[in-house]
Amino acid sequence: MEKSGDQQQSLNGQMKIESVERRNANYKPNIWNYGLLQSLTNKYDDEKYSRQVETLKREVSCIFDEVNDPVAKLELIDCISKLALSHYFEKDIYETLTTMVNTNNIGSFMEENLYATALYFRILRQYGYEISQDVFHCFTDDVGEFKTSLHLDAKPILQLLEASYLGTESECLLDTAQVFATENLSANHEIFSLDCPLHLSVGWFNVKKHIHVLEKENKTRSMLLQLGRLNFNMAQAQQQKVLKEILRWWRDLDLLETLIFTRDRAVESFLWAVGIVSEPQHESLRKWLTIVLVFIMIIDGVYDIYGSIEELECFTRDVNRNSAAARSHKEMILCTWADFCQALHVEAKWYHTGHTPRLWEYLDNGWISSSGPLLSLVVLFGVGEDITKTIEILENNQEIIYHSSLIIRLCNDQATSAVIILST
C-alpha cells in the first residue's frame, strides 16, 4: 500500500528528527517530592492573623513618635528592614529620614561615634538618599587611613563594614573602610565571619535568622518582634499556597515526558522569584516570574543542548514572525522574548560552526542571552501601576539593565565553567 505525499513527508521528517545527534547536559534530577509539597498545610492563612497584623502595625507606627534619640530611630528602621516589614511603614520611614537629612545639627550625634555614623550612612543609602562618604573623614588620619586608635568592639566596626558595601566605584574612602574593618574584625579575638553583607544578600531569606538574633538580644520592642514573627509565618503560608498552584500547573503541562532534555526546576524558580520580590502584595508577580523562569530554562535547553542548527533556524524564525513592533506592553514582552531567542540562536551558531567570539562580541550578545532584559521587563511591569510611566522608567534605565544583565551572564558562566572543569 502506497503512502500519500503528506504521510511520506511526515515520515521523512520524523526520520530526520530521530537521526539528529542530541547532546546531554547531565542535569541533576529534581530533588523535591511534589506530593509532599502539595500536602503542606499552614494555619497562618486564617483571616484572624491578618487582623492581628493590622493591630500590631498601628502599635509599631506609634514607636516612631515615641523615640526621640536619632540613633534609636535609625536602629528601629534597621530592625524593621531586617524583619522584611519596610513595606508596612514606608511613610513613617521616609518622614523620619527626611527630617533627619533636613536637620542642621544632625552631625552632633555622629561626632566621634563610628557606630552612629556608619548606621546613618548605610540606612540613608539603602533608602535612596544622597549622602557623601565624607562623613567618615573625621575617623581618618592625615593620609586618609582610618585611625589605628579606632580599636573598638565588633559592633561599630561591623557597621562600618556593612556601610562600605554601599560605596560606588569612585569612593576610595569606602574601599579603605572595607579593608580596615575586615582586618580589624579578623584580628579581633572573637573572630568574626561575615558570610554575606546585608547589601549583597537576599533580605527575605535572612528574616528568620534576624528574628532569632533579636530575640537573644532582648532589646527589641515586643510588638515589633511579634509583628515580625507573624508576618513571616503569614508570608510563608501565602508562598506555600502559591507554590502548590505552580506545581499543579507544571504537572498539568506534562512537558517533562516530551522535553526530556530540560531541567525540572519549578521549585527553584519560585524561590528565585520570592528572593526578587517577597512583599505579600506582589503574589501575582511571583507567579509570573516563576513561569517565565521555567520557560527560560526550557528554551535555553532547546538552543544549548537539544536543537539541531536547522531546527533552531526554524524555531527562531517563527518566534520573530510572531513578535510585532512594540506598540503596547504586551508586544514589548513578545519582542523581548524574541531578542532572547535571537541571542541564544547566535550562541548556538557559534557552537555548531566552531566559531570562538572575541570578548566584546560575546558580551555584546551575552547580556541579552542572560535573560536579564526579559526578567527586568517582567519585574517592572509587575510592580508598576501605570503602564506609560513604567515604559518610561524602562527606557530611562537601560544602562542599569545592561550592567545587571552582564553580571547575570558572567556569574552564570562562572558557575558553568566550574562544573565543566570538575567534570573533565
Mean pLDDT per block of 10 residues along the chain (424 residues) reads 51 52 77 92 91 95 92 95 95 95 74 90 94 91 82 84 92 93 74 71 91 83 92 94 95 86 92 92 94 95 91 92 63 89 96 94 96 94 85 91 95 78 63
* Statement to judge: residues 155 and 213 lie in one domain: yes
Cα 158 to Cα 86, 155, 162, 336, 407, distances in angstroms: 22, 5, 6, 42, 27
Are residue 205 and residue 260 in the same domain, yes or no?
Answer: no
Taken in order 233, 56, 198, 209, the sign of the CA dihedral is: negative
Whether residue 173 sits in one domain with residue 146 = yes
Q: Are residues 210 and 84 in the same domain?
A: yes
Q: Are 260 and 363 in contact (CB under 8 A)?
A: no
Contact 266, 34 (CB under 8 A): no
Together in a domain, 209 and 305 = no
182 and 164 Cβ atoms separated by less than 8 Å: no
Q: Based on the fold, state whether residues 132 and 163 are members of the same structural domain.
A: yes
State the pTM of this model.
0.86
Look up the CATH number of the domain holding residue 396: 1.10.600.10
Asked if residue 354 and residue 278 are part of one domain, the reply reads yes
Query: Which of 200, 224, 248 delimits the end of a domain?
Result: 224
Answer yes or no: is 41 within a domain.
no
**If DSSP codes are grouped into helix, strand and coil, which group holds residue 188?**
coil
Q: Are residues 155 and 262 located together in one domain of the fold?
A: no
**The pLDDT of residue 175:** 94
Any domain includes 51: yes
Query: What CATH number is given to the structural domain containing 88?
Result: 1.50.10.130
Does a structural domain hold residue 1?
no
Statement to judge: residues 256 and 211 lie in one domain? no
Query: Which of 150, 151, 164 lies closest to 119, judged by CA?
Result: 164
Give the domain extent around 400: 235-423
Query: Which cell is 204 given?
Result: 527575605
Decide if 162 is inside a domain: yes
pLDDT score recorded for residue 144: 86
Residues 55, 197, single domain; the answer is yes
**Are residues 210 and 277 located together in one domain of the fold?**
no
Domain limit, last residue, from 163, 190, 224: 224
Q: Which domain-ending residue is among 224, 244, 270?
A: 224
Give residue 106's pLDDT.
67
Question: Per the domain annotation, does 39 fall within a domain?
Answer: no
Same domain, 142 and 273: no
Q: Does some domain include residue 4?
A: no
DSSP codes, 293-336: HHHHHHHHHIIIII--HHHHHHHHHHHHHT-----SHHHHHHHH
192 close to 154: Cβ distance less than 8 angstroms? yes
Domain count, the chain: 2
pLDDT at 27: 81
In a domain, 351, yes or no: yes
Report the C-alpha gap between 83 and 209 in whole angstroms. Answer: 9
pLDDT given for residue 406 in this prediction: 96
Instruction: Check residue 10 and give its pLDDT.
Output: 47
Is 9 inside any structural domain? Answer: no
